[in-house]
Amino acid sequence: MRGSRIAWRRVSRGLSLIGFGVFLLLSTQGQLRPGFWLDAWTYWPVLLVALGLRLMFEHSRAPVGVLLSPLLLVGTLSYVAWGVTDPVSTDWATVQASRDPRIEAWSLEAELALSDLDLRAGSPARGLLLQGRTSPSELGRVRASHRGDSSRVHLRGGHWGSSGVHILNGRRHLWDVELTDDLPMTLRVASAFLDGELALETIDVTRVDLEGAFNDIVLRLGAPRTDTRLDLEGAFNHLELVVPEDTPVRVTTDEFINLVDRRSDRPAPGGPAYRVHSEGAFNRVVVRSE
């Protein structure tokens, strides 16, 4: 009987690893819809139910019941992948950041979790670096600081980096923001379970830092004026970089299983280029032109 229990426990562990691994593989290959991991995280209580099933059956007279645990996990991931539609939010609040007329450049820093981040280049109202909206209204915070000829704008969501309540309550945080396109800008995003569409084609972006885990980001950039560095750091991130035709992009990777899908057209070396570096584990970078 003891041997049977040990065998079923091992089968359960194996099925859990296989099921989770299949979805990670689909994610790294771009086969899952954007925001999949963000939606999957909102079902985190299923982990407790699965653990309870395992504890209940592993020492019972029916140890085969431990298989309910991996079946529940895989079933939930399958439901999220093919059966969930994004809810429409109506609880929006206006956000904006003021612009100091003396500045010559600025940086945008976002610290977000479980969020949809839509940024686009445009023409905010006079005297603003950015304007837009966020939902739920009580979660979004924007803070701007000016120093000399540059400004720094922070986007923060919920309880990032503190109590973790925002992560646990499973509420998706939505951002829809327009950025000024007449000043050079650096971008830094620290996030987890983020789905992002960053359309910055008309902005002179001088550097990009993306870090975190389980993020799915589409980044659209224009032709660089100088060599521009783009760092992707963390685990299980998917980055799609979209640049104009004939824009040089050089990609390097470090550490464990970072995948790169390059364009079929490879411009000859020369001229300003984007230099992409992916560091961490199980990250995927896709480079394409439009």
Owning domain of residue 251 = 93-289
Cα–Cα distance measured from residue 187 to residue 268, given in angstroms and rounded to the nearest whole number: 27
Q: What is the pLDDT of residue 58?
A: 76
Show which of 83, 116, 133 is a domain's final residue.
Answer: 83
- pTM score, whole prediction: 0.77
Instruction: Give burial (CB, 10 Å; 0-12/13-18/19+) of 116.
Output: buried
- Top pLDDT among 135 and 166 is at 135
Could you tell me if residue 88 is inside a domain? Answer: no
Instruction: Give burial (CB, 10 Å; 0-12/13-18/19+) of 89.
Output: middle
Cα–Cα distance measured from residue 240 to residue 259, given in angstroms and rounded to the nearest whole number: 12
**Predicted confidence (pLDDT) at residue 1 exceeds the cutoff of 70:** no
Q: What percent of the chain has pLDDT over 70?
A: 86
Could you tell me if residue 181 is inside a domain? Answer: yes
98 and 175 fall within a common domain: yes
Mean pLDDT of 10-19: 85
The pLDDT-based confidence of 158 (bands split at 50, 70, 90) is low
**Predicted confidence (pLDDT) at residue 88 exceeds the cutoff of 60:** no
Q: What is the pLDDT of residue 218?
A: 95
Could you tell me if residue 97 is inside a domain? Answer: yes
254 and 218 fall within a common domain: yes
Half-sphere exposure (Cβ direction) of 84: Cα atoms closer than 13 Å: 21
Show which of 59, 83, 107 is a domain's final residue.
Answer: 83
Q: What is the pLDDT of residue 170?
A: 55
The pLDDT-based confidence of 23 (bands split at 50, 70, 90) is confident
Number of domains in the chain: 2
Could you tell me if residue 219 is inside a domain? Answer: yes
Q: What is the pLDDT of residue 90?
A: 64
